[in-house]
Every structure is written in C-alpha cells, then in structure tokens.
Amino acid sequence: MQKDLGDYRKSYEKSALMENSISDNPMQLFQTWFYEVEQSNGVDEPNAMTVSTIGLDGFPKSRVVLLKKYTHEGFIFYTNYKSEKGRAISNNPNVCVSFFWPNLERQVIIKGKAEKIAENLSDGYFESRPHGSKLGALVSNQSSVIASRDELEDELTRLEKEYDGKEVQRPKHWGGYIVKPISMEFWQGRPNRLHDRIRYRLENGLDWVVERLAP
C-alpha cells in the first residue's frame, strides 16, 4: 500500500514574525500568541500540546496532553506519575513541548526540564475537576496493559457507588509537572517555505538570547 502526498501544498501567507515586533521575554510572546489563537476561534483546544519524552527503552515518544496553566516559570500539565510519560520524566527530565495552531500558521517548540509541582498545587487543581474525572484518575492504572474495556467500566461503576455523595481525594501518584524552558522557538509560516523562526535561548540560566534561524 502506498499513497503519494507530494501534491499536498499550501502557501503560508497570514502573518510575519519580525524582531522589531517581539518582546525580550519568550513567555510574553507566548501569551500574545495564545491570546490570538483563543480569539480566532479556529482551534477547538488551543491548549492542546505535544509532550515528547525519552522512554526507558531509549526511544522518544510524543503524545498530546492539555496545558492547564502557564506562568513566567513554565508550562503545567497533569498526569499519572506512574504512567509511561511519568516514568520517562523520572528517568530523564529533559522534554520537548510543542503547540501547533494551523489556523494561524504557527508553531511553538519548547525544550526544557520537567519537575513535579508542589503537592498543594496538585491538590487544588484536582479539587477543581469534575467528579467523574476524579474517579477516572482512580480507575486507570495509566499505561498498563488491561484485559478489556469492561475492566475499566466495571471499576468505574464500583467507585461510583463507593464515592456516592463523598469527596474524592487526589491519589498520590497523580499530579502536575511544570516544564521550565531553556529554549523556545516561535515558527510563523511564510510564502515559498521561507518561514520565520525566532528562537529564545536561555544563557547562564538568566538571560534570553534572541536568534533568527534559517527556515
């Protein structure tokens, strides 16, 4: 089986990314871009991001998760610490996070180190989740092999009865990570494949160096 995709072509012409129009801090530019994609109403989940890790088997693996908060320090998402991604981060905290917003012809690619956030912050977010999502965190032994879908459904039914009218406490193996960036690249599509690529690189752990990369 084969399919030639060579004729899939698009000219990127919606915007430009120039040095005289950006801030000295990449988080400020990220905030501007995120606001613009939110206002465009052209992406169902603008906070969907791809997290790439190096697994215990030595292979990279990427998956889409949801960004739940960003601050001047970095990007926060939540997961099961015992999942495949959690074990990978425990072994090697160097990760890559990327956003793709096709309606604005933009990407953001972030390299950084992931670390667990404070337990009280994970508690606070867990408390804000819907009751069903809380139970889901208890039901799923994430990334483990299971016999069937029925196994999950039966466990959910059992927990729904157990926690009927009761609060669900955050399990200790579930919580947040913050990815603290050391490099942030902003990609803006341009005509003739001469895309704009501006990279912020953290130098000496303190100052951001701004560089233009060849497309």
pLDDT value at position 205?
87
Asked if 187 and 14 count as a contact pair (C-beta separation under 8 A), the reply is no
- Give CATH for domain 19-128+172-212: 2.30.110.10
Question: Beta strands 69-70 and 174-188: pairing type?
Answer: unpaired
Residues that are catalytic: 193
Block residue for tokens 């069937």: 148
Q: Output the pTM of the full model.
A: 0.94
User: How far apart are alpha carbons 79 and 103 in whole angstroms?
Assistant: 28
pLDDT value at position 7?
87
Name the burial class of residue 39, with classes exposed (0-12), middle (13-18) and buried (19+) by CB atoms within 10 angstroms of its CB: exposed
Asked if 30 and 40 count as a contact pair (C-beta separation under 8 A), the reply is no
For 144, list phi and psi in degrees, rounded to 5. -80, 155
135-162: average pLDDT: 93
Q: State the average pLDDT for the chain.
A: 96
pLDDT, tens digit, for every residue of 173-199?
Answer: 999 999 999 999 999 999 999 999 999
Task: Kindly state the tokens that stand for 50.
Answer: 């791809």
User: How far apart are alpha carbons 175 and 177 in whole angstroms?
Assistant: 7
76-80: average pLDDT: 98
pLDDT, tens digit, for every residue of 99-131?
Answer: 999 999 999 999 999 999 999 999 999 999 999
The yes-or-no verdict on residue 141 having pLDDT over 90 is no
128-145: average pLDDT: 93
Task: Kindly state the tokens that stand for 171.
Answer: 């399990």
51-69: average pLDDT: 98
